Amino acid sequence: MGEKINILVFTGNRAEYGLLYPILYNLKLDKTYRVSLMISGSHTTELFGSTLDEIDKNGFESIEIIDLGDFTSFNNINTIKVISKIIETSSAVFNNIKPDIVLVAGDRYETYAVVTSAFYNNIPIAHFFGGDLSQGGHLDDSARHAITKLSHLHFATNEDSYNRIIKLGEEEWRVFNVGSTFVENILRNDYSTPEELKNDLNIDLEKKIVLFTQHPLTTEPQKAYDQIKISLQVLADLGIQSIITYPCNDNGSEQMIKAINEFSNVSHFRIVKSLGMKKYLGCMSIASCVAGNSSSALTESIPFGIPCVNIGKRQEGRLQSENVLNVEQDYIQIKKAIQKALYDEEFISIARNCHNPYGDGKTSIKIVELIKILMSDKKQSLLKKRMTY
């Protein structure tokens, strides 16, 4: 066997880790790789549930933690401080571990910081979830496309995203439509059982359940409190069992958390900081519908065949299937959409049979094999990017 490929994988939040998990699992199984894990972002902050504790820490060559414990308030100034700290600290990690390639996912500012550091350290970058579009009221599109332009290998989750990466000027040999790992997470059935969730969350499996997550719009954080309060008031008034998770650590999240905690005495609400991957998918498997503005609501609801109520602008432009009801941040619209998702048998049937554009559930195996082949065949040319526009 030749020299192992030294790969470093970065994760900065709960949703991203769940999507990276199948790739990490198969990387660890493949003896071609030496796998290190770098952890930062909301994983390290108590405010969002310290999801560092939920990460499988076994089988890695090295684990590096960039602790952001001092940053308990997320506003524009602190976001820039976080980016600066991660760039500086990750550069030291790279010089210590000396990875052959860095694997990242998504569009978060923590990921942007890691990619910036790797790029200027002349380390090839493989980017998962590039090319997506979500042009509503936040900074993700710009950050995602910036990460694409700094990266050297691109693993898109669907044909639309694949084509968008090509339009951004990336060479075709670098771009692959591999599908999404959330499909294989679901197909493996490796998530909490209904009985476990019944005991953990004190829920009645005989009654309807709404799974709710709403994030702030980073371009209008001053509206975050009022926006989520409208959604929560609808759920409170409808009287439906609702599993409510905290938002991500974007600017405006503190105000959303404040609003959530004001509803803590609502008897049919189950409020948790973070469910973790297994509980989250388990909750989706028993939910009657999902609601909010999380990308996972639009995507992961598809294989489960349940309705999704997408609230506001955050996911505007994102690829979606027939199971999605799009509404404004308006009490009446949200209420009508959730009632339709829960009780309209025709729409429930449409959701149950909606089209899945995110692949066949073999994404992680494809990524592991592609990196291996390309690191062998094109190692010298990975860093030499040529634009095709």
- Average of per-residue pLDDT across 232-258: 94
**Domain CATH number, residue 370:** 3.40.50.2000
In a domain, 65, yes or no: yes
- 96 and 164 housed in the same domain: yes
* Contact predicate 154/163, CB 8 Å: no
AA identity, residue 168: L
Strands 5-11 and 153-156, by their bridges, are unpaired
DSSP-derived letter for residue 291 is E
- 44 and 74 housed in the same domain: yes
Q: 179 forms bridges with which residues in the sheet?
A: none
Strands 241-245 and 209-213, by their bridges, are parallel
* Contact predicate 38/64, CB 8 Å: yes
Residue 371 has pLDDT above 80, yes or no: yes
- 176 and 251 housed in the same domain: no
In a domain, 384, yes or no: no
Over the stretch 8-39, which tens digit does the pLDDT of each residue have? 999 988 778 888 999 999 999 999 999 999 99
In a domain, 388, yes or no: no
Over the stretch 277-312, which tens digit does the pLDDT of each residue have? 889 999 999 999 999 999 999 999 999 999 999 999
- 209 and 142 housed in the same domain: no
- 163 and 198 housed in the same domain: no
| 15-19, 124-128, 245-249, 324-328: least confident range | 15-19
In a domain, 382, yes or no: no
In a domain, 248, yes or no: yes
SS3 86: helix
* Contact predicate 249/42, CB 8 Å: yes
Q: Which residues are CB-neighbours of 152 under 8 A, at least 6 positions away?
A: 124, 125, 126, 174, 382, 383, 385
CA distances for 275 relative to 207, 303, 334, angstroms: 20, 19, 24
Q: Which residue has the higher pLDDT, 3 or 323?
A: 323
Cα 193 vs. chain centroid, distance in angstroms?
22
- Average of per-residue pLDDT across 376-381: 74
- Average of per-residue pLDDT across 351-379: 92
In a domain, 163, yes or no: yes
Over the stretch 75-94, which tens digit does the pLDDT of each residue have? 778 889 989 999 999 999 99
In a domain, 170, yes or no: yes
AA identity, residue 348: I
Closest CA to 152 of 179, 128, 181: 128
Report how many domains make up the chain. 2
In a domain, 186, yes or no: no
Sign of CA dihedral 248, 250, 254, 258: negative
Region of residue 86 (left: phi > 0; alpha: psi -120 to 50; beta: else)? alpha
Over the stretch 47-62, which tens digit does the pLDDT of each residue have? 655 566 677 766 778 8
> The whole model's pTM is what?
0.87
- Average of per-residue pLDDT across 241-258: 92
- The domain in which residue 77 lies consists of 5-180+359-377
Closest CA to 202 of 246, 233, 241: 241
- 18 and 71 housed in the same domain: yes
- 201 and 92 housed in the same domain: no
Tokens of 261: 């905690």
Q: Report the alpha-carbon distance of residue 266 to residue 263 in Å, rounded.
A: 6
| 302-306, 328-332, 382-386: least confident range | 382-386
Give the CA angle between residues 261, 15, 274 to the nearest 5°: 30
* Backbone dihedral angles phi then psi of residue 227, each to the nearest 5 degrees: -65, -50
Q: Find the helix packing angle between 295-304 and 276-286, rounded to 10°.
A: 60
- 14 and 119 housed in the same domain: yes
pLDDT at 40: 86
Helices and strands: H and E segment counts in the chain? 14, 13
- 175 and 214 housed in the same domain: no
- 276 and 150 housed in the same domain: no
Closest CA to 130 of 108, 150, 109, 147: 147
- 286 and 321 housed in the same domain: yes
Q: Report the alpha-carbon distance of residue 89 to residue 41 in Å, rounded.
A: 13
Q: Which residue has the higher pLDDT, 67 or 383?
A: 383
- 59 and 172 housed in the same domain: yes
Over the stretch 160-172, which tens digit does the pLDDT of each residue have? 999 999 999 999 9
